[in-house]
Chain A
Amino acid sequence: MILLFYLVFYGFLAALFTFTMWVMLQTLSSDIPKYRDRISSPGLMISPKPDTALEFYFNKSDAQSYAEYVSTLRKFLETYDDSKQSQNINCTPGKVFDQNDVAVKKACRFNLSELGQCSGKEDKTFGYSKGTPCVLVKMNRIIGLKPEGEPHIQCTSKDPGAVEINYFPSGGLIDLMYFPYYGKTLHAHYLQPLVAVQLAINSNSTNEEIVIECKILGSPNLKNEDDRDKFLGRIAFKVEMTE
Chain B
Amino acid sequence: MRIAALLSDVTDAKTFLLLQKKSDVYSVEINGLKDLEKTENRDEEKYKDLKGNKKKKNEELKKELDLDDHKLSTSQLEEKYGTSIIKGLSSARAAEILARDGPNSLTPPRATPEIVKFLKQMVGGFSILLWIGAVFSWISFGIQFAQGAESAFDNLYLGVVLALVVILTGIFAYYQEAKSTNIMASFSKMIPQQALVIRDAEKKEMAADQLVVGDIVEIKGGDRIPADIRLISTQGCKVDNSSLTGESEPQSRSCDFTHENPLETRNIAFYSTTCVEGTATGIVINTGDRTIIGRIASLASGVGNEKTPIAIEIEHFVYLVAGVAISIGVLFFIISVSMRYKILDSIIFLIGIIVANVPEGLLATVTVSLSLTAKRMAKKNCLVKNLEAVETLGSTSIICSDKTGTLTQNRMTVAHLWFDNQIYSADTSEDQTTQPFDQSSPSWTALSKIVTLCNRAEFRPGQENLPVMKRVVVGDASETALLKFAEVVLGDVMNIRARNKKVAEIPFNSTNKFQLSIHETDDLDDKRFLLVMKGAPERILERCSTIMINGKEEPLDSEKAEAFQTAYMELGGLGERVLGFCHLYLPENEFPDTYPFDTDSMNFPTSNLCFVGLLSMIDPPRSTVPDAVSKCRSAGIKVIMVTGDHPITAKAIAKSVGIISATSETVEDIAKRLNVPVEQVNRQEATAAVVNGMELKDMSLQELDEILCNHSEIVFARTSPQQKLIIVEGCQRQGAVVAVTGDGVNDSPALKKADIGIAMGIAGSDAAKNAADMVLLDDNFASIVTGVEEGRLIFDNLKKTIAYTLTKNIAELCPFLIYIIASIPMPIGTITILFIDLGTDIIPSVALAYEKAESDIMNRRPRNKKKDRLVNEQLAIYSYLQIGIMQSVGAFVTYFTVYAEQGFLPSTLLGVRVDWENNAINDFEDSYGQEWTKYQRTYLQWTGYTAFFVSITIQQVADLIIRKTRRNSIFQQGLFRNKVIWVGIFSQIGIALILTYGLGHVTALNFTPLRFQYWFVAVPFAVLIWVYDEVRKLFIRRYPGSWWDKNMYY
A residues in contact (CB < 8 Å) with B: 1-2, 5-6, 9-10, 13, 16-17, 20-21, 24-25, 28, 31-36, 38-39, 42-45, 49, 53-54, 138, 140-143, 181, 183-185, 187, 190, 226, 228-232, 235
Contacts and interface: CB of A to CB of B under 8 A. Distances in A.
Q: Which 6 A-B pairs have the closest CB atoms?
A: A184-B929, A43-B933, A140-B931, A33-B903, A229-B935, A34-B901
Contact of B901 (A6, A35, A141): A35
Given A21-B906, A38-B943, A43 B922 contact: yes
Contact of B889 (A13, A31, A181, A229): A13
B568 interface: no
A228 B935 CA distance: 7
Interface stretch (B88-96, B316-324, B713-721, B880-888): B880-888
B923 A24 contact: no
B1047 A43 contact: no
B276 to A, nearest CB: 69
Contact of A141 (B897, B920, B930, B1020): B930
A33 B922 contact: no
B803 to A, nearest CB: 18
Interface residues of B, number: 40
Interface in B244-265: none
Interface string B640-675: 000000000000000000000000000000000000
Interface centre among B889, B925, B1043 (most CB of A within 10 A): B889
B819 interface: no
A38 B931 contact: no
Contacts of A5: 1047
B1003 A42 contact: no
Interface of B: 881-882, 885-886, 889, 892-893, 896-897, 900-903, 905-906, 919-920, 922-923, 925-936, 939-940, 943, 1003, 1011, 1020, 1024, 1043, 1047
Contacts of A38: 902, 932, 936, 939-940, 943
Given A33-B902, A45-B922, A143-B929, A231 B882 contact: no
Contacts of A183: 928-930
A142 B901 contact: no
A230 B881 CA distance: 43
Contacts of A44: 922
B930 A39 contact: yes
Contacts of B930: 33, 36, 39, 140-143, 181, 183
Contact of B931 (A16, A43, A229): A43
B907 to A, nearest CB: 10
Contacts of A143: 928-930
A16 B889 contact: yes
Contacts of A35: 901-903, 1011
A21 B893 contact: yes
Contact of B933 (A33, A187, A232): A232
B933 A229 contact: yes
A6 B929 contact: no
Given A9-B882, A181-B929, A184-B929, A231 B922 contact: yes
B902 A187 contact: no
A228 B1003 contact: yes
A193 to B, nearest CB: 14
A231 to B, nearest CB: 4
B922 to A, nearest CB: 4
Contacts of A43: 922-923, 931-933, 936
Contacts of B928: 31-33, 143, 183-185
Nearest to A184: B929
Nearest to B1024: A16
B933 A140 contact: yes
A24 B900 CA distance: 9
B150 to A, nearest CB: 10
Contacts of B903: 33, 35-36, 39
Contact of A49 (B881, B889, B920, B933): B920
Nearest to A5: B1047
B936 A21 contact: no
Contacts of A31: 928
